[in-house]
A and B are shown apart, each in its own frame.
Chain A
Amino acid sequence: MITIKNKTNQSVQAALFLLPGFILFLTFIVGPMIYSFRISFFDWNIIFPEKSTWVGFANYLEAIRDPIFRKAVLNNAVYTLVTVPGQMIFGLLVALLLNQQIRGKAAFRVIFYLPVITSWVIVSLLFEYMFSGQAGLINYLLRDVLHIIDQNILWLADPVLAFIPIHLLGIWKGVGWTAVIFLAGLQAIPIQLFEAALVDGANRLQQFRYITLPMIRQTTIYLVVVLTAGALNAYISNLLLTNGGDPLDQTHFILTLMYEETFGNLEFGYGSAISYLLTIIVFIISVIQIRLLRNQEQV
């Protein structure tokens, strides 16, 4: 009896300790989520919520039928398929380099990490200048230095080419962070494994294939899931480089479209529905990824 009582006391104590964080979590995360879920079923009047009209799934259906929303989903999908492997490959390469005994290791770490801590706004503007169609560095290099093109390319005016700076920016800015996580994973591998492999006559490629990669599997799973969710939530670079959807609403990401509909056009119900569709997409993809990668591990 006494032990049970003690346990109960402990549970109450634990609950009390958790309470402040729990309240904040409920107030600022769960609460708004529920509220916006409710909004998504209404033609919502932000000023007089009581005047909002119930529309059921109309907002969701409208989004699914909207070619601009579909294009935004496609844009996010391509962005994810390009930037997630891009960040991971380059991040792993950088991590492997930084994991060696080289001079100025700390300096290199700082250099690779600098884009991560630099504001999205600043680097986006930097890329906008670099990819300017008339006075940009990239056009100058391609045209006047390398002589690959004979006419300026209007990067940001083209619905397809506009994604080149956006994708490059996404990869460049994420490599540093990915490398740091990989580096942590690499440093956790016991050195004895490599020593044993060396004795067995394994070359560096074999060591990488049979020791490094399997040992950083957990790190890789973590990165794939987190980077994918991040890529699906991409927003600022697109907003600054193409104004959201320019040209012709062809370059939207799901979130830039959501922002435009919500705060530009005051369509709060529609905007909330878009957010929830994105939530569903991220949730499903994350579950599939975790399942797939875990299953592989068991095999």
Chain B
Amino acid sequence: MSKKILAMLSVMFVMVFLISACTPTPVEEPTEEAVVEEEVEEVEAEETEEEVAEVVPVEISYWHTMSDPETEKLDELIAVFEAANPGIKVAPTRFAYSDFKAAILTGLAGGSAPDTARMDIAWVPEFADQGALKQLDGVLEGFDEIAAAVFPGPLSTNFWNGAYYGLPQNTNTQVLLWHKDTFDAAGIAVPTTMDEFAAAACALTEGETRYGYALGGTYFWAPAPIFYAMGGKVVDDAITTAEGYTNGPESVAAFTMLTDLFNEGCISPNLLGGGVGTADGHATGFYSMIIDGPWMVDIYAGNYPDFETNFALIPTGADGTTSSVVGGEDVVVFETTENTEQALVWVSFLMSEEAQKMLAEVGVMPTLAHLTGDASMPAHFEIFMEQLETAQARVPHPKWGEMDGAINNAFQRMLRGDQTVQEALDQAALEIDALLAE
């Protein structure tokens, strides 16, 4: 008997679970008992709702990964927004960057995704491809004006399959950081061309006790500024092929320069993995040059208060132009939101000059191009905003993560001497083309 009862119970629960698991879960599924109670309440509520509808604000959620000072500033920002829009309340939720993607996915899968979020620019095409994000062009009032006012690089990260699925809320890029003491001691000028850069990297190297240049790793973000400045391209503009781009002559030239410098001992071997980090290495003079972003100012102010941070534009390539790689975050509206209208108002506000300026006070770089050189911006923003004018976005494609992996591995193989630069990039191009064909 007991076995039968247990068996029956288990079958019952498995079935209940399977049924609930197979049907897509609606937002906040109420329990069965609660439904009855709610229905009663709803009848009562409906009568009063019409009278109070204008006063009860709609709450929209906003997920982000802001730092402590940014989060404090966000509260101020929300207060300003809510004062101007009494019908809308914004409920922010903060996540750690490392958990954020999984949190959004869990939210989407469980039917509890936020209305809006600020996410890594590299994720937008990926989530758009999954159908999770609302198209904004043609939907958001004033989209064209905003699109025209922001830097083109950051904007392009929102474009996927013929539409825009977000707007660049903030941006950043990488520039050259040079260690003044070692440059002065060697009597070397800050490099402005790639040839000068290569020469400086070797001139500033002293065996294993000091390196002229160091990269944080072999992931694409690290060599990207040099790659783009030297005219390198991963794919064609239409994102259809990597053949002739990833392994094109400019891309090969960029990686050849880096591999040669590495083989001559002018680049620290830490990029292969497990060495001295670039931030610490640069501040202590172990690495004379690194390439990094605007957050370094805060990092050094906290960890090396006496260290003088010096920036310069990424040296120019053969055609005389500089470039770098675009980073930052985009604000997006989720397809599952029930408050599209209010969410769009919040997005427009985040893109306004007022909001962009407020967040700039805590070191967040604005995307509005006309704020370059604005007196209210922190002094070190200027060089980054100048660099942004020519900075390029990584390939806005749902499979970017895997493409990055292909280039990362190719870079490792050429540094280890497993393959020539051309062979390694030929293989990467094949792998990326396979991802594009999927």
Query: Does A pair with B?
Result: yes
Q: How many residues of A contact B (CB 8 A)?
A: 48
Known contacts A263-B105, A266-B105; is-contact A46 B130 (Cβ 8 Å): yes
Question: Are the CB atoms of A263 and B102 closer together than 8 Å?
Answer: yes
Q: Hey, which chain A residues are within 8 Å of B131, CB to CB?
A: 45, 47-48, 51
**For the complex, is A49 an interface residue (Cβ under 8 Å from B)?**
yes
Write out, one digit per residue, whether chain B residues 6-17 have a CB within 8 A of any chain A CB (1) or not (0). 100110011001
Write out, one digit per residue, whether chain A residues 37-61 have a CB within 8 A of any chain B CB (1) or not (0). 0100000011111110000000000
Q: How far is the CB of B279 from chain A (nearest CB, A)?
A: 13
Q: Hey, which chain B residues are within 8 Å of A163, CB to CB?
A: none
Question: Are the CB atoms of B17 and A26 closer together than 8 Å?
Answer: yes
Question: Are the CB atoms of B272 and A247 closer together than 8 Å?
Answer: yes
Known contacts A133-B270, A135-B276, A266-B126; is-contact A34 B5 (Cβ 8 Å): no
**Main secondary structure on A side of the interface with B:** helix
Question: Are the CB atoms of A15 and B2 closer together than 8 Å?
Answer: yes
Instruction: Determine which of B109, B130, B132, B275 lies in contact with A134 in the assembled complex, contact meaning CB atoms within 8 Å.
Output: B275
Q: How far is the CB of B100 from chain A (nearest CB, A)?
A: 11
Q: Hey, which chain B residues are within 8 Å of A48, CB to CB?
A: 24, 130-131
Known contacts A8-B1, A15-B2, A23-B13; is-contact A134 B270 (Cβ 8 Å): yes
Interface residues of B in 359-406 (CB under 8 A from A): 398-399, 401-402, 405
Q: Hey, which chain A residues are within 8 Å of B413, CB to CB?
A: 248
Give the distance in Å from the alpha carbon of A185 to the alpha carbon of B318 in the complex: 73
Q: How far is the CB of A60 from chain B (nearest CB, A)?
A: 19
Q: Hey, which chain B residues are within 8 Å of A243, CB to CB?
A: 273
Write out, one digit per residue, whether chain A residues 9-24 have a CB within 8 A of any chain B CB (1) or not (0). 0011011001100110
Known contacts A11-B2, A26-B13; is-contact A132 B275 (Cβ 8 Å): yes
Closest to B1 in A: A8
Question: Are the CB atoms of B409 and A154 closer together than 8 Å?
Answer: no
Q: Hey, which chain B residues are within 8 Å of A50, CB to CB?
A: 24
**For the complex, is B173 an interface residue (Cβ under 8 Å from A)?**
no
Q: Hey, which chain B residues are within 8 Å of A23, CB to CB?
A: 13
Q: How far is the CB of B122 from chain A (nearest CB, A)?
A: 11
Question: Are the CB atoms of A132 and B276 closer together than 8 Å?
Answer: yes
**Main secondary structure on B side of the interface with A:** helix
Write out, one digit per residue, whether chain B residues 205-240 have a CB within 8 A of any chain A CB (1) or not (0). 000100000000010000000000000000000000
Instruction: Determine which of B2, B21, B126, B270 lies in contact with A14 in the assembled complex, contact meaning CB atoms within 8 Å.
Output: B2
A–B complex contacts, Cβ < 8 Å, 11 sampled:
A14-B2, A15-B6, A22-B9, A26-B13, A46-B130, A47-B108, A49-B109, A154-B275, A242-B273, A247-B412, A249-B409
Give the distance in Å from the alpha carbon of A248 to the alpha carbon of B5 in the complex: 54
Q: How far is the CB of B402 from chain A (nearest CB, A)?
A: 6
Partner-A contacts on B (CB < 8 A): 1-2, 5-6, 9-10, 13-14, 17-18, 21, 24, 101-102, 105, 108-109, 126, 130-132, 208, 218, 268-270, 272-276, 335, 398-399, 401-402, 405, 409, 412-413, 416
Instruction: Determine which of A8, A12, A133 lies in contact with B274 in the assembled complex, contact meaning CB atoms within 8 Å.
Output: A133
Question: Are the CB atoms of A154 and B269 closer together than 8 Å?
Answer: yes
Give the distance in Å from the alpha carbon of A7 to the alpha carbon of B4 in the complex: 14
**For the complex, is A100 an interface residue (Cβ under 8 Å from B)?**
no
Give the distance in Å from the alpha carbon of A135 to the alpha carbon of B214 in the complex: 15
Question: Are the CB atoms of A34 and B102 closer together than 8 Å?
Answer: no
Give the distance in Å from the alpha carbon of A134 to the alpha carbon of B401 in the complex: 29
Question: Are the CB atoms of A264 and B401 closer together than 8 Å?
Answer: yes
Q: Hey, which chain A residues are within 8 Å of B398, CB to CB?
A: 266
Known contacts A134-B270, A134-B275; is-contact A263 B101 (Cβ 8 Å): yes
Question: Are the CB atoms of A157 and B274 closer together than 8 Å?
Answer: yes
Interface residues of A in 118-161 (CB under 8 A from B): 128, 131-136, 152, 154-157
Give the distance in Å from the alpha carbon of A36 to the alpha carbon of B101 in the complex: 19
Give the distance in Å from the alpha carbon of A7 to the alpha carbon of B3 in the complex: 12
Question: Are the CB atoms of A19 and B9 closer together than 8 Å?
Answer: yes
Question: Are the CB atoms of B109 and A46 closer together than 8 Å?
Answer: yes
Closest to A251 in B: B273
For the complex with contacts A132-B275, A248-B409, 18 further pairs of A-B residues with Cβ separation under 8 Å are A14-B2, A26-B13, A26-B17, A34-B14, A46-B109, A47-B131, A128-B274, A133-B273, A135-B275, A156-B274, A247-B218, A247-B272, A247-B273, A247-B412, A249-B405, A249-B409, A263-B102, A266-B398
